[in-house]
């Protein structure tokens, strides 16, 4: 390593921090080769890599220790070493980030109501939809909002995944029986949430044994964002996962599937 000097770098919230820069070994990601599978991000214990717009990116250079735990996990050979000017490895910052991440995983988003769990409804497989005149919930896990879903959880193992627009459960009367039954359900509204779900869905598909995907959307144009995010995540997951899209009309009819 060759020491270069200390510079001021501007942080996200406008404050400045001094960082040491040097010529050192650091990873390089070839975006042309990257298929966005997310294996490198999972292998990077320091948290230097994120999946952004379906591609792996070295987002925090000072988190990269240059040891290359991510290299052998890349199926396309998109990651290599290079010697260049970069911020020095900041072990203290890495440990602080790891501690913060662990705390967030214990209570997602700081809300006890978002704690991940599998739901049991106390019925035999194949039981009728109604018991003593009451409908049976088919929600298999909590939480169900895409933004709150953990990337990894036991209920994903071998699961059939239902990705549904929020409004579908209100428009389609038999949502629980016809679509949610036997599946892990995740819901979202790209218009109201104003987010791109691609990265979260890609992480779920890449890091778990998902057997199939069903996308249920409304006929309205804004639901296209949910479908595009799911299709992009499927494309870049590096897996062959059977999938289908079902469109629900405003008056609760299945238009196509």
Q: Give me the residue spans of the domains in the chain.
A: 2-105, 116-122+135-256
Tokens representing residue 97 in the block = 């980030």
* Residue 135 to residues 23, 117, 140, 169, 174, Cα–Cα distance (Å): 65, 22, 15, 14, 10
Write down the pTM of the prediction: 0.56
Fold of the domain built from segment(s) 116-122+135-256: Rossmann fold (3.40.50)
Q: Are strands 184-188 and 159-165 parallel, antiparallel or unpaired?
A: parallel
Domain 2-105: which CATH number of 3.40.47.10, 3.30.70.1400, 3.30.70.20, 3.90.79.10: 3.30.70.20
SS3 118: strand
Give the pLDDT of residue 126: 53
Tell which residue, 75, 52, 19, 65, has the closest CA to residue 199.
52
CB 148 within 8 A of CB 198: no
CB 54 within 8 A of CB 217: no
| pLDDT tens-place values along the chain, 257 residues long | 444 555 545 444 445 566 688 889 999 999 999 988 888 888 888 889 988 888 889 999 999 998 888 888 788 889 999 999 988 899 998 888 888 777 655 544 455 566 777 777 655 545 555 544 578 899 999 999 998 999 989 999 999 999 999 999 999 999 999 999 999 999 999 888 878 899 999 999 999 999 999 999 999 998 999 999 999 999 999 899 999 999 999 999 999 76
DSSP string for 11-64: -TTS-EEEEEEEEEEEEEE-TTT-----HHHHH-TT--EEEETTEEEE--GGG-
Give the pLDDT of residue 133: 56
Give the pLDDT of residue 232: 94
d(CA 189, CA 156): 22
As to burial, measured by CB atoms within 10 angstroms (0-12 exposed, 13-18 middle, 19+ buried), residue 145 is middle
Give the pLDDT of residue 215: 97
d(CA 173, CA 180): 12
């Amino acid at each position: 390593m060759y020491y270069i000097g200390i510079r001021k770098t501007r942080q996200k919230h406008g404050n400045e921090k001094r960082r040491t820069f040097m010529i050192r070994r650091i990873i390089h990601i070839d975006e042309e080769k990257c298929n966005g599978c997310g294996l490198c991000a999972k292998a990077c214990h320091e948290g230097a890599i994120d999946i952004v717009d379906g591609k792996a990116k070295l987002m925090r250079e000072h988190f990269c220790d240059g040891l290359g735990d991510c290299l052998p996990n890349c199926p396309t050979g998109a990651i290599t070493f290079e010697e260049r000017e970069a911020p020095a490895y900041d072990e203290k910052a890495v440990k602080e980030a790891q501690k913060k991440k662990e705390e967030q995983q214990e209570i997602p988003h700081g809300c006890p109501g978002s704690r991940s769990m599998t739901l049991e409804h106390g019925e035999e497989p194949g039981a009728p939809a109604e018991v003593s005149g009451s409908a049976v919930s088919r929600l298999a896990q909590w939480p169900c909002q895409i933004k709150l879903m953990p990337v990894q959880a036991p209920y994903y193992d071998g699961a059939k995944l239902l990705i549904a627009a929020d409004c579908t459960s209100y428009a389609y009367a038999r949502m629980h029986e016809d679509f949610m039954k036997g599946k892990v359900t995740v819901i979202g509204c790209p218009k109201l949430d104003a987010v791109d779900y691609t990265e979260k869905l890609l992480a779920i598909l890449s890091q778990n044994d998902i057997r199939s995907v069903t996308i249920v959307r409304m006929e309205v144009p804004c639901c296209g964002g949910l479908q595009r995010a799911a299709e992009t995540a499927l494309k870049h997951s590096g897996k062959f996962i059977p999938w289908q899209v079902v469109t629900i009309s405003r008056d609760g009819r299945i238009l196509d599937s």
